[in-house]
Amino acid sequence: MLNLTDITVRLGGRTIIDGATASLPPRGRVGLIGRNGAGKSTLLKVVAGMLEADGGSVDMPRGSRLGYIEQETPGGDATPFETVLAADTERAALMVESETSDDPYRLAEIHERLITIEAHSAPARAARILDGLGFDETAQHQPLESFSGGWRMRVALAALLFSAPDLLMLDEPSNHLDLEAVMWLEDFLKSYPATILLVSHERDFLNNVVNNILHLSAGKLTLYPGGYDAFERQRAERQAQIASAKAKQQAVRARLQDFVARNSARASTARQAQSRAKALARMQPIAEQIDDPSLSFDFPDPKELRPPLITLDMASVGYDDTPVLQRLNLRLDPDDRIALLGRNGNGKTTLARLLAAQLLPMSGEMNASGKMRVGYFTQYQVEELDHSETPLQHMTVQMPDANQSAVRAQLGRFGFSGSKATTEVGKLSGGERARLALALITRDAPHMLILDEPTNHLDVDAREALVQALNAYSGAVLIISHDKHMLEMTADRLVLVDDGTAKEFGGTIEDYIALVLAKDPAESRSAKPREKVSKKDARKAAAEARERSQALRKRARTAETALTKLTATRTAIDQAMFDPDNATPTLASLTMSELMMQRAEIETQIEAAELEWLEASEALEGIAA
């Protein structure tokens, strides 16, 4: 369907894409992935004809229609419904011509064509797409100028989906969507009848939608069959092969260099040494897999506080004397991991601002621990960073009483060490700016993190690093995200913000998705609130569950730490067995049989630690269930 041949793009004197070549299968659903700044959006613009490549060619079958959302959002007096209908330009033109043409033969052709393209069903299809993206019937017929930029981007997405191009190109389509709209989009794309090329950093979204992964790294493209998990497995195998080949090449290079050094001066072996020197010169180094050593999240653990951190008792909150949420009864404890569910506009951010003490309750009560510190992350903090200042300057302002060592240590937790700490924010990637914002809000080791869409600027690897950091963090976490994988991996309590209030959701993320998509009503019923119990019994049960889960989390973390150390020891023993020259002095002094005995003992300890971790994790899951 799409052939890219030797595509080269240079921007600002720097080569972004370097001789990239790939062929996309017909009707393939292809996920374009790569680290932040790798050139994914640039490649889409080249394919869309919005940017001219410095070299190479883009080939598609003649007559193919290509669809791509530009940066400008639609606006004006037109409604979302009218905008989406107008996206099918052929239908719109035929409808106009059918009302103005007097030629009976032409009218017959027009009506025949309208029947062929199923023009009669277009209004229902447009309404269905808009509804899936969060526009109810009333919103579909309001002027575009009454919507925010994010909602107008949804209209642009709806128009693109409605136009049904032969090559549908999407660049981070979920960034302006809530979880509910993302689930709908997932379902829509899985049944899309033509070719899709989409950029996404959401693991679950990629796994559920695409059947090929196109990986852009170091300016080159590699196509992998399957979803993201399959790509990770194949990439790990490829990295292992590269590492093995590099090690073999280094061994050969060392032998050749040694021979040349020892035999160049001898007349009898000078010719052989010269031949090997030429072989060395011809040997091309094998490129190592590029990893970003600065990809780092490390939240400082707070001092323990007695539960609860916050309680809401029949509280209400809103703006300008108009409540957005009422009848709020909620308790947050130091070890809570809570995900807020609900469509955009239902009040998730309003509730987050109340818990962060940015809003005061309009009625009812809110009690919070006097010593509690809260770290509150929003996208606005990323956008409001001063681009002319450095991370070091930003952190120094936020930590006025700290010495430079403490300031740099906090930056180092989030990958800003060395020259990165003194690089202007304007020269950092979106992901690096998000990391800096997280570093700033956690400078005083908060007892609770409130994260409102923290993943929008992060690639897949950065999101995984964030998940691991949140799971290692000992404080409470409240998260709003459209990334299902992020929610599943970090949250053990779900709170649904809907119908003007917020209540515990009794099911799992999957139950909630089934409820939203109404795929299986029987399955959705399991997500209904559990049978009522007395408040006293509920509090007692919750307290017992918290005590057990806290002990189990500590047990799991201890086992995980032991596993890390034991695995490192096993690796060192393996190196001593197969490469004694580079072994540590202690291991190098041991015989092979002693090394084997030590390795067997370490293996036994690893198995025990893995079992300990597994038992603690399963017990935690049981408490959550």
Q: Per residue in 235-259, pLDDT tens?
A: 777 777 767 767 776 776 777 777 7
pLDDT of residue 621: 63
| pLDDT of res. 7 | 94
Residues 516, 565 within the same domain: no
**Does one domain contain both 351 and 444?**
yes
Alpha-carbon distance of 454 to 397, in angstroms, equals 23
Distance (Å, whole) CA 260 – CA 598: 39
Residue that finishes a domain, picked among 508, 530, 552: 530
pLDDT of residue 290: 44
pLDDT of 528: 43
Closest CA to 448 of 379, 360, 361, 357: 357
CA dist., res. 206 & res. 227, Å (int)? 6
The one-letter code for the residue type at 571 is T
Q: Are residues 390 and 248 in the same domain?
A: no
Q: Give the 3-state secondary structure percentages of the chain, helix then strand then coil, rounded to 5.
A: 50, 20, 30
* Residue 166, domain member (yes or no): no
Give the pLDDT score at 497: 95
Lowest pLDDT segment from 63-72, 330-339, 439-448 = 63-72
In this structure, is residue 522 part of a structural domain? yes
pLDDT at 537: 60
**Count of domains forming the chain:** 3
Return the pLDDT at 546. 59
Flag whether 235 is in a domain: no
pLDDT value at 271 more than 70: no
> Could you read off the pLDDT of 495-546 as tens digits, one per residue?
999 999 999 998 888 888 888 876 443 333 334 444 444 545 655 565 566 5
Q: Say if residue 334's pLDDT is above 70.
A: yes
Residues whose CB falls within 8 Å of the CB of residue 67, separated by 6 or more in sequence, listed in order: 160, 163, 164, 165, 167, 168, 169
Q: What is the mean pLDDT of residues 381-392?
A: 92
For residues 568 and 479, membership in a common domain is answered with no
In a domain, 523, yes or no: yes
pLDDT exceeds 80 at position 384: yes
Residue 126 binned pLDDT confidence (cut-offs 50, 70, 90):
very high
The CA distance from 533 to 168, in Å, is 51
Give the pLDDT band (50/70/90) at residue 490.
confident
506 and 546 within one domain: no
Mean pLDDT taken over the chain: 84
Dig out the tokens for 321 from the structure: 């004397």
Could you write out the DSSP letters of every residue in 536-592?
HHHHHHHHHHHHHHHHHHHHHHHHHHHHHHHHHHHHHHHHHHH-GGGS-HHHHTS-H
Above 80 in pLDDT, residue 489?
yes
Q: What is the mean pLDDT of residues 484-491?
A: 88
619: in domain: yes
What per-residue confidence (pLDDT) applies to 540?
Answer: 58
At residue 275 the predicted structure's pLDDT band, cuts being 50, 70 and 90, is low
Same domain, 331 and 252: no
Both 262 and 390 in one domain: the answer is no
* pLDDT score, position 221: 93
66 in any annotated domain: no
**Residue partners of 278: CB distance under 8 A and separation at least 6:** none
Is residue 351 located within the same domain as residue 430?
A: yes
Average pLDDT over every residue of 124-145: 92
Other C-beta atoms within 10 Å of 13: how many?
Answer: 5
Kind of pairing, strands 493-498 and 501-504? antiparallel
CA distances from 360 to 66, 366, 367, 380 (A): 50, 8, 11, 20
**Rg for the chain (alpha carbons), in Å?**
29
Residue 492 sits in the same domain as residue 577? no
Q: What is the mean pLDDT of residues 542-561?
A: 71
Same domain for 481 and 600, yes or no, is no
- Whichever domain contains 423, its CATH number is 3.40.50.300
What is the pLDDT at residue 524?
Answer: 38
Who has greater pLDDT, 59 or 619? 59
Span 408-428, average pLDDT:
91
| pLDDT tens-place string over residues 524-537 | 333 444 444 454 56
Which of 45-54, 253-262, 603-612 shows the lowest per-residue confidence on average (mean pLDDT)?
A: 253-262
Domain-terminating residue out of 471, 498, 530? 530
**Residue 405 falls inside a structural domain:** yes
Asked if residue 486 and residue 399 are part of one domain, the reply reads yes
Residue 530 has what pLDDT? Answer: 40
- By residue range, what is the domain housing residue 577? 541-624
Question: For residue 481, is pLDDT > 60?
Answer: yes
Indicate the range of 179-183, 317-321, 448-452, 613-617 predicted with least confidence. 613-617
Query: Do 596 and 494 lie in a common domain?
Result: no
Confidence band of 432 (pLDDT split at 50, 70, 90): confident
Q: Which of 78-82, 102-106, 319-323, 337-341 has the lowest mean pLDDT?
A: 102-106
Domain-embedded: residue 116: no
